[in-house]
Amino acid sequence: QSVLTQPPSVSAAPGQKVTISCSGSSSNIGNNYVSWYQQLPGTAPKLLIYENNKRPSGIPDRFSGSKSGTSATLGITGLQTGDEADYYCGTWDSSLSVWVFGGGTKLTVL
Partner 1 sequence: EVQLVESGGGLVQPGGSLRLSCAASGFTFSSYDMHWVRQATGKGLEWVSAIGTAGDTYYPGSVKGRFTISRENAKNSLYLQMNSLRAGDTAVYYCARAVNGDWFDPWGQGTLVTVSS
Q: Which residues bind partner 1 (CB under 8 A)?
A: 2, 32-33, 35, 37, 44-47, 50-51, 56, 86, 88, 90, 92, 96-104
Give least dist CB 21 to partner 1, A: 15
Which lies closer to partner 1 via its Cβ, residue 13 or residue 56?
56
CB of 32 to partner 1, least distance (A): 7
CB nearer to partner 1: pick between 46 and 62: 46
Enumerate residues 6+ apart whose C-beta is below 8 A from 19: 10, 73, 74, 75, 76
Nearer to partner 1, 75 or 101 (CB): 101
Q: Which is nearer to partner 1, 34 or 109 (CB)?
A: 34
Q: Contact at 8 Å (CB) between 41 and 56?
A: no
> Any idea how long the chain is?
110
Spatial neighbors of 97 by CB under 8 A, at least 6 apart, are none
Nearest to 73 by CA among 100, 56, 49: 49
